Structure 1
Amino acid sequence: MVALSGVLMAIALPPWSLWPLAWVGLVPLWWVVRATPQVGLAAAYGLLWGLVYYGISLAWITHLHPLMWMGVPWGSSVAIALSSWLFIVLWGSVCIAVWGGAIAWAAHRWPSRRFWLVLAGTALWCALEALRNHSPLDWSPLSLTQSPNNLWILHLSRLSGPGAITAILVATNGLLALAFSPVPTLLGSPSPPSHPPTPPLPYPLLPRRPLALMAIALVLLGHTLGALLYAHEAVPADQALTLGLIQGNVPTREKLTPQGVNQALEGYTSGYRALVAQGVEAVVTPEGALPQLWNPNSPQIAAILRTVEQDGVPLWLGTFAPVPGAGRQQYTQSLLEIRPDGQAHGRYDKVQLVPLGEYVPFEAVLGRLISRLSPLDSYLVPGAADQRFETSVGQGVVGVCYESAYSRLFRPQVSSGGEFIVTASNNDPYPVGMMRQHHGFDVLRAVESDRWALRVTNTGLSGLVDHHGRTVWLGEPHTYLIHRAELERRQTLTPYIRWGDWLTPLLLGLGVLGWRDRR
């Protein structure tokens, strides 16, 4: 039953996007952990759910293999891919194990506090997701199950971020679990010895009508509120903006070779000139479009600078830029705005680096055991958290690679004046299923911040999403393409942008108050 629950929630995610399943998919997990008197066993059930849910949704990580083109032996390549997949799957699963153990402990300590249990379970799940979003590894939150299709519910994120979507999903499943408990004893622990045992219900699957009605009301309330937020247009468009994007489609195993560098240079140069001819205001390239350390004197970078100088339109180039004033040779994964004067004016440095791919965690311990997968011979360091991407066409909000999964990185950029979102990713060598999950994250970021979002990738899926989460355009994967995108610059501030995730602390506070009252 627990494994089935994990499967149902996993296929609610992109690329399957069977989002209605998320409104009932957690019910079996609620049933099992509430019915399990042993905390350790309930935690094991939570761990099993996580292994199934995250194992399926993150299976694309195994596409890291093969790595033989980097000189890694076949066996080591398989080991690296599997260990990376297992590590991030276990990290998410441990969080669900904590949740399952806590629910079992509370359910059998205070069996009559059913509504408080749903409140506490919702608050704890939201808190664990928020905690995980501050870690180096995070993916597959429950909010992603509703993206990109259930736009009404996605608009709840404007109130308190993705945690608002998680909260209504967990609470609805909890109420349904109480209403349709398949075992009568799920209503509470066995009666004390001094009292006669509670007789079984004649119809164990008969819904507890008030609880079922509450669950239905919560779903209707969430969708109604989301629909109102969807229909509300606080401020008209401030100003139109035309950006061009280039999906280079140069696989990583090729672009790190001299032939690949020349292919990338040719593709991005010709695409840039074609987009300039279409009248764009700036041209955007993916993460690591030119996989070289930034040196204006190198032949390839000098050629790019001459092209921009001749055509006169800024180029936003993904490359590796040196850290100014660093004591040793250090570089960042960066998006630079190159203007016709040949200088890099706007700059965004990637904050959320990929463990093992771009840096080694606990390098003093693991550095001798793990060979870095980065193509660089130098150190990659994270960018500052308070960056502002000032460009010739206004201030942008930038995410590089898998930063799309981290709403906390986008909110301060929007609140400081960001008018539109640009995400630049590589996405090679991962399959289309992963690309669709990445697109779902961009939809979430666009809706919660009330901003248009342009996604530029190396191998796909590049796309354009409006401020209501509607996909305006989506390119084909594994194809070289250019696209002229028309979007809007916006300056509105949603409640989430103003106040952050205020719902999770509120739920935690109410849960603590209910617990203290019971004590």
Structure 2
Amino acid sequence: MPIVKTKLSKQHQRWTLPAFGFLALSSGILMGLTVAPVEAWFLAWIALVPLWVIVASSTPRKTKLLSALLWGSGYHGVALAWITGVHPMMWMGVPWLASIAIALFCWAAITLWGAALVTAWAVCITVFSRGVGTFTRVLIGVALWCGLESLWSLGPLYWTSLSYTQSPHNLIILHLGQISGSLTVTATIVAVNGLLAEAWMRYERSEVGGRGSGKNTITLRLFASSCLLFVALHLVGFGLSSRPLVQPPETALKVGIIQGNIPNTIKLYSEGLRRAITGYTEGYITLAEQGVEAVLTPEGALPFMWSEVLRTSLYTAVQEKGVTAWIGAFGEQGQNYTNSLFTLSRDGTVFSRYDKVKLVPIGEYIPFEQVLGGLVRRLSPLEAKQVAGAPDQVFDTPFGRAIAVICYSSAFPEEVRYQAAAGGQFILSAANNAHYSPSMPAQHHAQDTMRAIETDRWAVRATNTGYSGIVDPHGRTVWISGLNTYELHAETIYRRTTQTLYVRWGDWLTPLLLGLAIISKLTSLPASKKINPLS
């Protein structure tokens, strides 16, 4: 493919900065509509095209940066609008105006954090794609997006990866996550959008420069490449999703789920505590009598220290019924505490404990506390400081090693992959999810669906107010609860020891793409500008 300077069409040369900004913001909003509550997942395959055209064309630098910032704000702002559900907090003693301010601060902070990633991508692709061919620019664009998302996942705010725009509806493409994790899906989305954008830009130049020079052939070739890539990767995903699940009877495990439905507004007060103890005790007894082998409760099901849990009727019921229970409660760690999941074995002893690794910023800890501590009120039920668990934990149970996921950790695939590689045979996901609009628990379910597919594991989800559920290794939702309802459910899952390519090797695709992008960039440089490694 020859190197051609990308110019705007005459029509677009007349566009103003606000017009470009509006186009970028609108397409970002379209990307935001791919997730709950709208779930128009198919828009993800075209919603990045306008931004790519703006960034890859000869628009002014200021236009590119503003467009990227607006696109990112549109996507992350719409997808994460549920965060404003932290308001109202008057039940916690927070004044109405302060509650509004906190909600808006949370939404703005997490939106701008995501928008910063998109802006960084626009800067990088502008710098590194100069003087390269079309396919090299697409390779660089895909590699940069995946590289930046990978860095982003190492921080405290990570939820809206492009890959989750396809969950839980496009299960076929999500199976690419078994190859190299969720960023495999991200790479696919960016690549298809990039090829479509390049085809559009070629088409526009053919309108300006005439139709007889073969430019239309290149346009068709690029468009066909995007379609072929889309179809080919879906066929790969279809092949992976069509493999039968080998489930020997001896690996079966009948588990019960209790969705306690204790609203946050009363959860930490006497009424909520009474309802929690009664609801989880009665639910446990009912499920035990139905013949389950273990019962899973949500994150913070009993919101007090473990030493107090041992004095509850639920603990007594476990001793009497002899059925293992996974109980969400707080664990002591010196003068601090952890948000933990405890395995209470059939004889009433604590078999294991898993401490939440990924804490929710502002909700469970304050970033830059010395600076922001006086501005943001900690939304914590205890006066002690909540601390995170070690990232290298494993969670052994009487039925073999499990993969423990507590709430926010569902968004971090590496945490789940590590536990699967360490021998985890099934996923236990415990979350609260109360106080938000239905889109938040729906998105949370989508995250756990991706983790089940990537690791080839059954996932059992217990939440406080919904959605609780059972997801099989192909991402199919076997059962899902209602919202804001008290529910009990028993289901048979199967323990698995298979290891996908992703579980064994992790995200190997991103460094490979970055390496290929560097090689392509260097080989496309004019001889006079190539770097001599010996100089």
Q: TM-score range by the shorter chain?
A: over 0.9
Q: Which residue of 299, 309, 317 maps to 2:319?
A: 309
C-alpha distance in 1 between matches for 2:485 and 2:44: 33
Q: Which residue of 377, 381, 384 maps to 2:383?
A: 377
Q: How does 1:95-106 map to 2 (within 5 A)?
A: 95-106=117-128
Structure 2, gaps ≥5 residues long: 1-22, 526-535
Match of 1:176 in 2: 196
The answer to whether structure 1 residue 122 and structure 2 residue 142 are counterparts is: yes
Q: For the Cα contact (< 8 Å) 1:184–1:200, is it kept in 2?
A: no
The answer to whether structure 1 residue 137 and structure 2 residue 157 are counterparts is: yes
C-alpha distance in 1 between matches for 2:339 and 2:453: 26
C-alpha distance in 2 between matches for 1:39 and 1:124: 18
Match of 2:298 in 1: 286
* CA spacing shift, 1:518–1:182, aligned 2, 3 Å: closer
Match of 1:94 in 2: 116
Deviations 1:85-144 (A, max 9, x none): 11000000000011122233345x31x511111000001111111111111111121111
Number of equivalent positions: 501
Q: For the Cα contact (< 8 Å) 2:72–2:116, is it kept in 1?
A: yes
Match of 2:273 in 1: 261
The answer to whether structure 1 residue 463 and structure 2 residue 439 are counterparts is: no
Task: Find the residue that maps to 1:381 and give its secondary structure.
Answer: coil
Q: How does 1:50-449 map to 2 (within 5 A)?
A: 50-107=72-129, 109-110=130-131, 112-181=132-201, 184=204, 199=209, 208-233=219-244, 235-237=246-248, 239-296=251-308, 301-323=311-333, 326=334, 329-449=335-455
Displacement of 1:3? 1.9
Q: For the Cα contact (< 8 Å) 2:202–2:218, is it kept in 1?
A: no
Q: Which amino acid aligns with 1:104?
A: T
C-alpha distance in 2 between matches for 1:370 and 1:25: 35
Q: For the Cα contact (< 8 Å) 1:358–1:380, is it kept in 2?
A: yes
Match of 1:46 in 2: 68
C-alpha distance in 2 between matches for 1:374 and 1:359: 8
Task: Find the residue that maps to 1:180 and give its secondary structure.
Answer: helix
Displacement of 1:39? 3.0
C-alpha distance in 1 between matches for 2:306 and 2:366: 22
Percent identity between the aligned chains?
46
Quick check: 473-482 or 227-236, which moved more?
Answer: 227-236
* CA spacing shift, 1:201–1:77, aligned 2, 3 Å: farther
C-alpha distance in 2 between matches for 1:423 and 1:507: 32
Displacement of 1:17? 2.0
Match of 2:533 in 1: none
Task: Find the residue that maps to 1:295 and give its secondary structure.
Answer: helix
Q: For the Cα contact (< 8 Å) 2:326–2:343, is it kept in 1?
A: yes
Match of 1:193 in 2: none
TM-score norm. by structure 2 comes to 0.90
Match of 1:33 in 2: 55
Task: Find the residue that maps to 1:208 and give its secondary structure.
Answer: helix
Q: Which residue of 1, 4, 21 maps to 2:43?
A: 21
C-alpha distance in 1 between matches for 2:313 and 2:280: 11
Task: Find the residue that maps to 1:12 and give its secondary structure.
Answer: coil
Quick check: 391-400 or 362-371, which moved more?
Answer: 362-371
Q: For the Cα contact (< 8 Å) 2:128–2:521, is it kept in 1?
A: no
Q: For the Cα contact (< 8 Å) 2:172–2:238, is it kept in 1?
A: yes
Displacement of 1:236? 4.1
Deviations 1:224-244 (A, max 9, x none): 111111122475446111110
Structure 1, gaps ≥5 residues long: 188-197
Task: Find the residue that maps to 2:201 and give its secondary structure.
Answer: coil
Supply the RMSD in Å over aligned alpha carbons.
Answer: 2.0
Deviations 1:369-399 (A, max 9, x none): 3321111111111111111111112211011
Q: Which amino acid aligns with 1:177?
A: A
C-alpha distance in 1 between matches for 2:258 and 2:201: 53
Match of 1:480 in 2: 486
Quick check: 77-86 or 139-148, which moved more?
Answer: 139-148
C-alpha distance in 2 between matches for 1:222 and 1:182: 24
Task: Find the residue that maps to 2:33 and give its secondary structure.
Answer: helix
* CA spacing shift, 1:103–1:180, aligned 2, 3 Å: same
Deviations 1:450-477 (A, max 9, x none): 0011111000000111000111111111
C-alpha distance in 2 between matches for 1:351 and 1:477: 26
Displacement of 1:304? 2.4
Q: For the Cα contact (< 8 Å) 1:41–1:101, is it kept in 2?
A: no
Match of 2:14 in 1: none
Task: Find the residue that maps to 1:485 and give its secondary structure.
Answer: strand
Task: Find the residue that maps to 1:79 and give its secondary structure.
Answer: helix
C-alpha distance in 1 between matches for 2:27 and 2:218: 20
Match of 2:514 in 1: 508
Displacement of 1:21? 1.5
Q: Which amino acid aligns with 1:305?
A: Y
